[in-house]
Amino acid sequence: MLMKCVRLKRIHARLILALLVTLLLIIIVSKLKTNENLESGQLVLDNNSTQIFEKKLTDYERRIIPNLGDNGDPSFLEGNDAKEGEKALKTFALNTVLSDRMPLNRKLRDPRNKKCKRFKYNPKLKTSVIVIFYNELMSVILRTIWSVILQTPSHLLKEIILVDDASTEENLNGLLDYYIETRLRNYNIKIIHLKHRLGLIRARLQGARAAQGDVLIFLDAHCEATEDWVEPLLSRIEEDRTAVLVPIIDVIEANNLAYSTNGDSSFQVGGFSWSGHFTWIDIQNEEDKHKLTPVKSPTMAGGLFAIDRNFFWDIGSYDEQMDGWGGENLEMSFRIWQCGGRLETVPCSRVGHIFRDFHPYSFPDNKDTHGINTARLAHVWMDDYKRLFFMHQPGLENNPIVGDLTHRKQLRQKLRCKSFKWYLDNVYPEKFVPDENVVAHGQVRTEFEMCLDDLQLADDKVGPLGLYQCHPHMAMSQYFSISEKGELRKENFCSEVFNEHDVQLTECHGHKREQYWVYHKNGTIFNPSVNRCLSSEGVENGGGVKADICKDTLYQRWKFDKVNETAMAV
């Protein structure tokens, strides 16, 4: 009996061992397989292709105009080149013709505040610079790489990792590799060609997996680094490994490639809109405004940042289920703050970026990846405040397209992250919450079923406060609040009286005056600075409402969906 039992146990043990070994083998093989699926092989050069590439490159190099664009000055071509450049701007949102004629290693002037030179940094950390790209112009990618090489002391640069997100452009499948092998042989540059397009989030993850430096610095593929850009970043991370840093991002003009700055001491930090977009905001705290040491930033734009490599993984890297483009920057920003890190802008580190008016590339299946990715982050990080995002995107709220969130929710628990309310209270207290601590909010209607409407005003514009037929369902264009301070506002836009009569939506300035309104219990919205009332009299559908002499008329009665009676004036 006893013997039988021992034998049985042995058989069991063997079976379990065999099972474990098989499992291990399956894992190893599938790992190998995924890598094989992700990356294609290195470039193999035979005599023939070498000759072809060399000829292409020398032809290309011969056309470069020496000193064009030096110091970051605006540059212009003449005749046909100028015309072609204009055309390119419309197709690629970038003057590709000019870029191809400009030296790849142009020297920029030092854009920093002069006082930055006083700081002496001596970091010990080495960085891996990761540049991802999909169908970017080769000369722009190379200018990014050259600027990193020229502006980074070699003892601080572990490597440059390029991740090609399965570009289809011919130059990026061979010629770029050949350039690096022949012209940049002395530098440690690795290029990973992904077999299938993964989107920018997963492409960055592939780069991070390959990186070995102490610090990861991510750059878009159309950037130029300037003098001493890396030292203050590395030094700050050495001081605090939980600090995630962004340089000041200057503008490289897409039409003439000028390096332009907002002066040497004024800069903005990152905010967000409830529709889930990144925005630039002014620094609120007076003391921080002209600081040269790192300044707190509620969010980051996403393309250019430095992070301790281990901290990147510890704090949850990226949401690997985010596709395409968009959303990852706010996800990472909220996560960093809520889970114990800090996000800062470093004023003495400056990098230029070509801001393009539109995406020059298309997305597979035309999916709204920005919306879907933002829905993911809203569910995971924003607690109840996600209602404000889903008011903009109701179709995404319970939509299976958003995908499974288990892992990200587990991550939040594992890291014991703080609430979104904590983030708002402590990191971004100036952020306006349209339905909290307000006098009234929602649709604002007259007795004639006409509603206040932003008339689809773009985020960065000033325009009339409009009147439009009330939509049967809540539409964000008709959502307004009267804030505690008496602003009649929509997110960052406040209704302001101009010329005593016109009412415009314009950036909130917080100084009352023409942006100050009193909402009375009888439904009038009164502006004391001009002694007038908000009126819809004589305004057509799609027209702008007016500030009018106050009188007893239904045209001056407004009803909000939700009111806080106690906060209203009698």
Q: Which does 134 bind (CB under 5 to 8 A by kind): Mn ion, ligand UD2, none?
A: ligand UD2
x-or-dash string of contact with ligand UD2, 202-241, rule CB under 6 A? -x----------------xx--------------------
Environment class of 492 (CB within 10 Å of its CB; exposed 0-12, middle 13-18, buried 19+): middle
Name which of 352 and 486 has its Cβ closer to ligand UD2. Answer: 352
Q: How far is the CB of 359 from Mn ion (least distance, A)?
A: 10
With CB under 5 A as the contact rule, the residue among 136, 165, 220, 308 that binds Mn ion is 220
Q: Which residues 316-355 are close enough to bind ligand UD2 by CB under 6 A?
A: 324-326, 328-329, 353
CA pseudo-torsion sign 52, 57, 60, 62: negative
Q: Which of 85, 111, 199, 371 binds ligand UD2 (CB under 6 A)?
A: 199
DSSP element (H, E) containing 52: helix 47-62
- For Mn ion, which is the closer residue by CB, 220 or 487? 220
Buried b (16+ CB within 10 A) or exposed e, 370-379: bbbbbbbbbb
Beta strands 463-464; 189-193: pairing state: unpaired
Query: How far is it, in rounded angstroms, from Cα 293 to Cα 119?
Result: 10
Beta bridge partners of 450: 469
C-alpha 119: how far from its chain's center? 29
- Choices 135-143, 220-228, 246-254, 543-551; region in contact with Mn ion by CB under 5 A: 220-228
Q: Residue 228: left if φ>0, alpha if ψ -120 to 50, beta else—which one?
A: left
Judged by beta carbon distances under 5 to 8 A according to partner kind, the member of ligand UD2, Mn ion, none in contact with residue 326 is ligand UD2
Q: Which residue is nearest to Mn ion (CB)?
A: 220
In the list ligand UD2, Mn ion, none, the entry touching 203 (Cβ below 5 to 8 angstroms by class) is: ligand UD2
* Tokens representing residue 399 in the block: 């939509």
Q: Which CB sits closer to ligand UD2, 356 or 387?
A: 356
Residue range at the interface with Mn ion (CB under 5 A); choices 144-152, 212-220, 265-273, 415-423: 212-220
Binding piece for ligand UD2, criterion CB under 6 A, among 45-53, 55-63, 194-202, 391-399: 194-202
Among 88, 100, 136, 527, binds ligand UD2 (CB under 6 A): 136
User: In the complex, what is the shortest distance from the CB of residue 311 to ligand UD2, in angstroms, rounded to a whole number?
Assistant: 19
Answer whether 219's CB lies under 8 Å from 303's CB: yes
Query: Smallest distance, Å, CB 481 to Mn ion?
Result: 33
The per-residue DSSP string of 84-151 comes to: HHHHHHHHHSS-HHHHHHS-TTPPBP--S-GGGGG--------EEEEEEESS--HHHHHHHHHHHHHH
C-beta closer to Mn ion: residue 194 or 223: 223
Annotate each residue in 298-317 with x if it binds ligand UD2 (CB under 6 A) or - if it does not, as one string. ---xxxx-------------
DSSP letter at 418? P
The identity of residue 259, as a single letter, is Y
For residue 229, the minimal CB distance to ligand UD2 (Å) is: 15
User: Which residues inside 147-186 make contact with Mn ion, applying CB under 5 A?
Assistant: none
What is the torsional sign of CA 175, 179, 182, 187?
Answer: negative
* 475 CB-near residues (< 8 Å, 6+ apart): none
Q: Would you tell me which residues interact with ligand UD2 (CB under 6 A)?
A: 132-134, 136, 165, 197, 199-200, 203, 220-221, 249, 301-304, 324-326, 328-329, 353, 359
Q: Would you tell me which residues interact with Mn ion (CB under 5 A)?
A: 220
